[in-house]
Structure 1
Amino acid sequence: MFYTIVLLCLYWRCLNGVFSESLSVMEGDSVTLKVDVNETDKDDEILWKFGAEKLPVAQINRAAEIFDTSDGPDGRFRDRLKLNHQTGSLTITNVTTQHAGLYKLEIIAAKLSSKTFSVSVYTRLPVPVISSNFSCSSSAIQQNCSLLCSVVNVMDVTLSWYKGNSLLSSISVSDLSISLSLPLEVEYQDKNTYSCVLNNPISNQTQHLDISKLCHTCSGTTSSYPLVSLIVLISAAVVGSLLIVAGFGIFCSCRKHRKTDQEDEVTYANLTFNKRNAQKSIKSEHDEEEVEVVYESVFYS
């Protein structure tokens, strides 16, 4: 019974010529709603209608020589519609998101047939921006860099991180988003290829990650280690030299003072006076007594 109902519905749709087609277009481009020439005759009347209200936007009546397009009630189609007089196809130029929606084609002939076009309009995608929130771990071996890929003013998009061709993470949004971002953390020494991709059903924008540029602070810190070590070694050598010179100066000063003290120190030996018997001879009244005095040698040490 179910399959019978389905077949009847399909037969009814074919009988009335009701078909649907989906089209996607980038904002600013053009899109053509094509009419199959086998479905029309030169005397057929063609009507194009837009939106749920089915507002007329274009008409062809060859018998009355009418080839007309409409700007729409709000003027959104002004200078944007081109009608092919031979086929009846309708082209919309410089498309904006205001032109997204349902378009209905009606062919009025011996029987009424129609076709519906669903038009989706996507804004042009911006290139994702990758920024870094750099931090080095306490370990000298592992250094991590926190990255953030972000876009603004997007709708119906998916933002993803890829490692080579492998998907790491993604986030999607259907409504208009002021800001959309996706984090990623990598090691500074990581040699893999990373990229951030923003895409919608008809286009994509890719930003490749350059770790050496975004995490340059960590690189600079790492490369400064030899310089710091050299400075420390030089400082230690200078301080050591100064200590040696100071120690040698103190040693010489002490030695000099010690020598001076030794030179100033005099050891006196005991003096012994030996008085020998003097022979007194009286030569005259004024002659003095002769006394022989013997001094022993005195040594200085």
Structure 2
Amino acid sequence: MPNQIFDAFIFFCLCLWSLSGVFGVDDAVKSVSVTEGESVTLNSDLTEIQTDDLIMWRTVHNSNLIATKENYKIDFPDVRFRDRLKLDHQTGSLTIMNTRNTDSGLYTVSSSRSETPLNTFNITVYARLPVPVISHSSKKSPTSSNCSLVCSSVLNVSDVTLSWYAGMSVLSSISVCDLSISLSLPLEIQCLDDSYSCVINNTISNQTTHLNTQLCGPCSDFNWCCGFTEAVIRLALSALVGVATVAVLVYEFRSRRSLQQKKREQTPSNSD
């Protein structure tokens, strides 16, 4: 019974020790961002640990012990991280593999040779971003000749920005912190005269979809089709100019011929 009380007292002290180290020195907390499913390594900042050193990794929110190392023995007592943790034998650094959204939070590492935690980390695990989908907008005005599009993200994500780009320039964007419905962003263009794309991004990653010319034709086709009236007008003007030019030439030719004929009539013949 005394041993159980002593163990409980030691555990309580370690909890207070970890919590005081995290909340007492805010500037010592290191922020780490990772995409869900990827691995992240939390460094203990130790170059080498002694054989009899006790290294302990904990989650701060519930002070759960998740990894320990002592006398070459490594243990991972938290079943939530089963088969997803690695502990470096020499430095005591911890690697979390196949990260999940539930892994987000504060972590602290301590050593039996130090009175304060060695490091404290704030991990943020971001969900994998869906590829945005570009389609024709169902809200197109019947009187509009523009190409009406909408870019949407059909999966639930958070802390993201959805943007329309023309080349490297942002045309429009929308940002959300917490999303429980699909996100969409409309766009109207006359024709595909640039590299239009829709991009969804967060702090550490992005997904891009480029506009398909089948949705909006290139401007060369657009100008040929929609500039038909202008082309007819130009052709008619050219024809009028041509007719006027011919008329002037004919008039000039006839005037000269008439003038020459009058000169011959006024000139006396040699027989006189």
Coarse TM-score class (shorter-chain normalised) = 0.5 to 0.7
The letter for the 1-side match of 2:99 is V
Matched, 1:180 2:183: yes
Contact 1:128–1:198, Cα closer than 8 Å, also in 2? yes
Match in the other structure for 2:123: 119
Identity %: 50
- Could you tell me how far 1:165 is from its partner in structure 2? 0.9
Unaligned 5+ runs, structure 2: 1-20, 229-272
More helix by share: 2
- Could you tell me how far 1:177 is from its partner in structure 2? 2.9
Match in the other structure for 2:16: none
Q: Distance in 2 between matches of 1:215 and 1:110?
A: 65
Structure 2 residue corresponding to 1:165, chosen from 159, 168, 171: 168
Q: Distance in 2 between matches of 1:181 and 1:35?
A: 43
Q: Please show how residues 47-58 of structure 1 align to structure 2 within 5 Å.
A: 47-58=56-67
Structure 1 residue corresponding to 2:94, chosen from 90, 113, 124: 90
Q: Please show how residues 1-301 of structure 1 align to structure 2 within 5 Å.
A: 19-38=28-47, 40-62=49-71, 65-70=72-77, 72=78, 75-109=79-113, 111-133=115-137, 135=140, 143-152=145-154, 153-188=156-191, 190-210=192-212, 212-215=213-216
- Could you tell me how far 1:224 is from its partner in structure 2? 11
Unaligned 5+ runs, structure 1: 1-11, 227-301
- Which digits, 9 at most, give the CA deviation of each residue in 1:31-52, with x for residues without a partner? 1111222485444321100141
TM-score calculated relative to the size of structure 1: 0.59
Q: Distance in 2 between matches of 1:182 and 1:31?
A: 33
Q: Distance in 2 between matches of 1:225 and 1:113?
A: 72
Contact 1:137–1:144, Cα closer than 8 Å, also in 2? no
Measured on the aligned residues, the alpha-carbon RMSD in Å equals 3.0
Q: For residues 225 and 137 of structure 1, do their structure 2 counterparts lie closer, same or farther at Cα, with a shift above 3 Å needed?
A: farther
Contact 1:160–1:197, Cα closer than 8 Å, also in 2? yes
Q: Distance in 2 between matches of 1:41 and 1:19?
A: 24
Q: For residues 185 and 97 of structure 1, do their structure 2 counterparts lie closer, same or farther at Cα, with a shift above 3 Å needed?
A: same
Counterpart secondary structure, 1:177: coil
Q: Distance in 1 between matches of 2:179 and 2:119?
A: 30
Counterpart secondary structure, 1:112: coil
- Which digits, 9 at most, give the CA deviation of each residue in 1:180-220, with x for residues without a partner? 111111113x512211100111111111113x41146xx89
The letter for the 2-side match of 1:89 is S
4+ residue runs over 2 A deviation: 37-44, 110-114, 133-138, 222-226
The letter for the 1-side match of 2:204 is I
Q: Size of the alignment, in residue pairs?
A: 199
- Which digits, 9 at most, give the CA deviation of each residue in 1:211-248, with x for residues without a partner? x41146xx89x96999xxxxxxxxxxxxxxxxxxxxxx
Contact 1:128–1:205, Cα closer than 8 Å, also in 2? yes
Contact 2:158–2:177, Cα closer than 8 Å, also in 1? yes
- Could you tell me how far 1:85 is from its partner in structure 2? 1.9
Match in the other structure for 1:283: none
Q: For residues 145 and 224 of structure 1, do their structure 2 counterparts lie closer, same or farther at Cα, with a shift above 3 Å needed?
A: closer
Contact 2:110–2:119, Cα closer than 8 Å, also in 1? yes
